[in-house]
């Protein structure tokens, strides 16, 4: 933690080259009677906030939960127009050639010391990169004729400078406020802010009564594809596969329903029903995003010795969970023995190795875990892990160009599969199949693939799910797979709608 004396030293050196432009001021608070959700509701239940949590292997909560307090600055990209808003007011709008490069410039604008004893992320950029960001990487994939029904930005990032880190292991909470050491009274102002947050934290929680008590179930969701349209798209995809255009393509459908309950209640229900490695709730004002994704897009971790490790973790191969332990184990054995599922998974391991290899030092790309089964509330998956040592001089923006979008939500060869998706899917994907997560001040990043994710906007809730189509795919089974993947969200939405 930064002491007052250390902060004063940073302030005295603040005008020298290479000095820190932001210093995190931290207060540790005993919070054994709170939960990450109660802390979110006390401190951050407002627009431009977030909650990030993790359950490892589908079974055990990760050590840290991160609660983002209202962000003063929000950055969006629509096409090649970047807009910056401070406190909701537009302060900058301009055309940019490379949005990913602009994101890296935003990330690098501040020099911030690392804090020992806290997770790698203690501030930076949090938000999403939507699926249509593929147009920034492959210009011929930009645009397209499909309707943009959700009209969300391709990129939305909140500049997170006030946050709370919940240590689930120790029952402690760390309140973090970033102060500018170049400003007079910066330390005193940070302490005053921490005092105010501590006071709010110690007030009893009073969660209001449910605002709706509606009955919703799976049958209320309406597909943007229709059953027959999806089946026809699968058959068309198989024609492309037989012709040698592609080996695999991931087709998805969006299912939508009117929704007027509290978005955070969907997160509450989903957290209980389908804990996953990546759980997130983002409230950006007119849009809320709720998800429990099992899959990394890419993780970038600095080792403290000047190097960084790139991690991708492909998931491909799915079965519904069994009703008994015996049935569950039988389904696991069937999944691991299925030639179609094994071939699809091997192809995606190779794609992950290729993606990681584009930004890794020669000879450092390795496949660690292979063909591991991970279980979630409604489905089980085959999972493998690929790592590599990042080439010197590269950043998360370079890694994103190399890995986006994941092969598990596009197909192979990736570019041709993306062209088939654009041809066959009736609407733009928006947030779905893009990525959600954070990019820290120091260049560390952890982003999930935006699957098992609901987007709430204008009184409607949207869930999207896909299936990998290969040469011998059964169209009806692929339809069923998309429904199985959506079921945890369907249940969470139903719980939220009837009132928790």
Residue at 209 is within a domain: no
Handedness of CA 38, 41, 43, 49 (dihedral sign): positive
Higher pLDDT, 145 or 234: 234
**Full residue range of the structural domain in which residue 120 is found:** 4-201+216-498
Q: 474: buried, middle or exposed (CB in 10 Å: 19+, 13-18, 0-12)?
A: exposed
Mean pLDDT in residue range 415-434: 96
Token output for 331? 């389904």
CATH number of the domain bearing residue 336: 3.60.120.10
Mean pLDDT in residue range 67-85: 97
Q: Helices (H), strands (E): how many in the chain? A: 12, 28
Residue at 239 is within a domain: yes
Mean pLDDT in residue range 101-129: 90
Mean pLDDT in residue range 130-152: 93
Looking at residue 309, its pLDDT comes to 93
Compute CA 100 distance to the chain's CA centroid, rounded to the nearest angstrom.
17
Residue indicated by tokens 């079965």: 319
Residue at 12 is within a domain: yes
Tell me which H or E stretch contains 207: none
Does 217 score more than 80 pLDDT? no
Total domains present in the chain: 1
Token output for 122? 């203690």
Instruction: Give the span between the Cα atoms of 265 and 263, in whole angstroms.
Output: 5
Residue at 172 is within a domain: yes
Looking at residue 302, its pLDDT comes to 84
Among 27-36, 427-436, 456-465, the range scoring the smallest mean pLDDT is 27-36
Residue at 206 is within a domain: no
Q: What's the length of the chain?
A: 500
Instruction: Give the helix ranges, DSSP H, for 261-338.
Output: 263-273, 325-337
Average predicted confidence (pLDDT) for the chain: 90
**Which percentage of the chain shows pLDDT scores above 70?**
95
Does 43 score more than 70 pLDDT? yes
- Evaluate whether 374 touches 294 at the Cβ level (below 8 Å): yes
Instruction: Give the span between the Cα atoms of 84 and 82, in whole angstroms.
Output: 7
Residue at 159 is within a domain: yes
Among 4-13, 179-188, 253-262, the range scoring the smallest mean pLDDT is 4-13
Report pTM: 0.92
Predicted confidence band at 218 (pLDDT cuts at 50, 70, 90)?
A: confident
Among 8-17, 81-90, 156-165, the range scoring the smallest mean pLDDT is 8-17
Residues serving a catalytic function are 381, 408, 432, 452, 468
Residue indicated by tokens 């598990």: 408
Residue at 207 is within a domain: no
Residue at 222 is within a domain: yes
Mean pLDDT in residue range 333-347: 90
Looking at residue 173, its pLDDT comes to 93
């Amino acid at each position: 933690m930064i002491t007052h004396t250390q902060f004063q030293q940073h302030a005295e050196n603040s005008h020298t080259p290479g000095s820190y432009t932001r210093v995190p001021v931290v207060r540790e608070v005993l919070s054994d009677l709170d939960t990450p959700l109660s802390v979110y509701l006390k401190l951050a239940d407002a627009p431009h906030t977030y909650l990030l949590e993790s359950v490892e292997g589908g079974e055990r909560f990760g050590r840290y939960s991160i609660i983002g307090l209202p962000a003063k600055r929000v950055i969006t990209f629509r096409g090649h127009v970047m807009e910056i808003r401070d406190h909701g007011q537009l302060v900058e709008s301009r055309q940019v050639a490379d949005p990913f490069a602009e994101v890296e410039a935003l990330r690098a604008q501040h020099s911030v010391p690392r804090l020992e004893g806290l997770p790698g992320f203690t501030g930076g950029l949090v938000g999403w990169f939507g699926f249509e960001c593929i147009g920034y990487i492959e210009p011929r994939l930009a645009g397209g004729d499909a309707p943009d029904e959700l009209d969300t930005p391709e990129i939305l990032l909140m500049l997170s400078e006030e946050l709370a880190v919940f240590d689930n292991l120790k029952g402690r909470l760390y309140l973090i406020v970033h102060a500018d050491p170049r400003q007079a009274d910066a330390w005193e102002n940070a302490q005053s802010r921490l005092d105010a947050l501590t006071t709010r934290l110690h007030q009893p929680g009073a969660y209001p009564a449910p605002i709706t008590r509606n009955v919703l179930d799976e049958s209320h969701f309406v597909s943007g594809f229709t059953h027959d349209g999806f089946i026809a798209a699968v058959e068309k995809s198989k024609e492309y596969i037989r012709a040698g255009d592609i080996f695999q393509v991931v087709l998805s459908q969006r299912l939508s329903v009117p929704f007027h309950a509290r978005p955070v209640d969907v997160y509450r229900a989903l957290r209980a029903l389908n804990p996953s490695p990546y759980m997130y709730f983002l409230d950006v004002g007119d849009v809320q995003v709720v998800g429990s994704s099992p899959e990394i897009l890419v993780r970038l971790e600095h080792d403290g010795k000047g190097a960084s490790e790139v991690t991708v973790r492909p998931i491909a191969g799915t079965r519904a969970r069994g009703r008994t332990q015996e049935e569950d184990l039988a389904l696991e054995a069937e999944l691991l023995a299925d030639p179609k599922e094994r071939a699809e998974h091997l192809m995606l391991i190779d794609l992950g190795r290729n993606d990681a290899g584009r930004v890794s030092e020669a000879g450092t790309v390795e496949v660690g875990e292979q063909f591991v089964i991970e279980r979630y509330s409604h489905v089980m998956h085959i999972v493998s892990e690929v790592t590599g040592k990042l080439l010197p001089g590269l950043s998360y923006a370079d890694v994103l160009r190399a890995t986006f979008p994941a092969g598990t939500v596009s197909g192979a060869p990736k570019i041709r599969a993306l062209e088939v998706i654009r041809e066959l899917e009736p609407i733009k994907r928006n947030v779905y199949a893009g990525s959600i997560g954070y990019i820290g001040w120091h260049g560390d990043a952890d982003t999930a693939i935006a699957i098992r994710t609901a987007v709430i906007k204008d009184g409607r809730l949207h869930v999207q799910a896909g299936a990998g189509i290969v040469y011998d795919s059964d169209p009806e089974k692929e339809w069923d797979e998309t429904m199985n993947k959506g079921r945890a969200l369907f249940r969470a939405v139903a719980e939220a709608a009837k009132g928790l």
